[in-house]
Amino acid sequence: MNNIIRITTLVENVSHDPRLMAEHGLAFWIETGSGNILFDTGQGKALFSNAHSLGINLEQAAAVVLSHGHYDHTGGLEKLLQTADRVKVYAHPAVFRHKIARDGAGRFYDVGMPFLDPKAFRKQAEELIRTEKASEIGHGLWVTGTIPRVTEFEDHSDDRFYIDKEGRQPDNLIDDQALFFEASRGVVVLLGCAHAGVINTLKHISQLTRHKPIYTVMGGMHLGDAAHGRIECTIGALRDFKIERLGPAHCTGGVATREFFDAFPKKCFSCPVGTVTEFEVN
């Protein structure tokens, strides 16, 4: 009999269920049959509240995978480590770097991982399972490691991220990575924010899987400030990949999300908090 991998959206910007908290952030709970993996942790508040409401026991997490170091993906890590102290943490070591953003008024503010206890921070940095390169998490799941930036249209020059508070050194977020696994119908990809670009991410996964068809892509696509041309090129490239199911979420942005639903009306789905998607795996 085939196994099922079951993914529950635990944190997301939108909730349609009054029991579940919406929060700018992302977390997916992945049940594999041989172990449970948490992909990202949201800002920290909604993760535990929603897990409780959905009957998900975070103490049973065998591993947590961090897509990158921004607070809306790593804010729940400290409490998770206190809750599930044997959990393994997979991430690029740059998740611990200073991460600064600049707002529209030119002010700089911290968007990095909030660790309240510096001792926990140091311990975690030492014990991290580093994923600079593509790595197997186990249970059939993989992370991409650092994603090469190869497309011309996924331009990051308008991103307002820095590693210093004066805004001198841009942060190209080399820690950004996606999680993927091979399901019976094709490869399934979970994105954090896709700061590397969703098409760069898919091209990298396509190489890593020796060009297996990509069946589903879900998560944040970071197209909120993207120029129209970039959204159009992204849609064209998604069409070339013949994606069968597309779940734009979190930081994809309203305009890009609408355009995806227009371009792929039968393939697009939304994944607010509480959404469960299941995939058969061989």
In angstroms, what CA-CA distances link 191 with 142, 195, 199, 267? 12, 9, 11, 17
Strands of the sheet with 179-183, listed across from one edge:
135-138, 141-143, 179-183, 186-191, 214-220, 245-249
Q: Which two tokens stand for residue 135?
A: 């790595």
Shortest separation between residue 3's beta carbon and Zn ion, angstroms: 30
Q: For Zn ion, which is the closer residue by CB, 31 or 72? A: 72
Q: Which stretch binds Zn ion (CB under 5 A): 7-15, 114-122, 193-201, 202-210?
A: 193-201
Q: How far is the CB of 24 from Zn ion (least distance, A)?
A: 7
Looking at the Cβ atoms of 193 and 202, the one nearer to Zn ion is 193
Q: Which stretch binds Zn ion (CB under 5 A): 48-56, 79-87, 185-193, 225-233?
A: 185-193
Give the Cα separation of 43 and 112 in Å (integer): 11
Interaction between residue 99 and Zn ion (CB under 5 A): no
179 or 251: CB nearest Zn ion? 251
Q: Are 194 and 221 in contact (CB under 8 A)?
A: yes
Q: How far apart are CA 13 and CA 111, in angstroms?
A: 17
70 lies in the site for Zn ion, by CB under 5 A: yes
CB of 72 or CB of 259, closer to Zn ion: 72
Using CB under 5 A, pick the residue from 193, 202, 237, 243 that binds Zn ion. 193
Number of residues that bind Zn ion (CB under 5 A): 4
Q: Please say whether the beta carbons of 225 and 253 come within 8 A.
A: yes
**Among the residue ranges 5-13, 64-72, 142-150, 271-279, the one whose residues contact Zn ion (CB under 5 A):** 64-72
Contacts of 198 (CB under 8 A, 6+ apart): 154, 191, 217, 221, 222, 223, 234, 238
In the stretch 242-261, what mask flags binding to Zn ion with x, by CB under 5 A?
A: ---------x----------
Q: Under DSSP, is residue 257 helix (H, G, I), strand (E, B) or coil?
A: helix
* Beta-bridge partners for 5: 279
Which H/E stretch holds residue 130? strand 129-130
State the nearest-atom distance from the C-beta of 266 to Zn ion, in Å: 27
Instruction: Answer for the pair 13, 25: CB distance below 8 angstroms, yes or no.
Output: yes
Residue 24 vs 267, nearer CB to Zn ion: 24
Q: Which two tokens stand for residue 27?
A: 């977390």
Angle separating helix axes 254-263 and 228-241, nearest 10 degrees: 40
How far apart are the C-alpha atoms of 145 and 174, rounded to whole Å? Answer: 9
Q: Rank residues 27 and 251 by Cβ distance to Zn ion and give the closer one.
A: 251
Contact between 40 and Zn ion by CB under 5 A: the answer reads no
Interface region with Zn ion, contact rule CB under 5 A, candidates 38-46, 71-79, 162-170, 204-212: 71-79
CB of 125 to Zn ion, least distance (A): 19
Instruction: Single out the residue of 72, 154, 175, 259 in contact with Zn ion (rule: CB under 5 A).
Output: 72
* Residues at the site binding Zn ion, with contacts judged by CB under 5 A: 70, 72, 193, 251
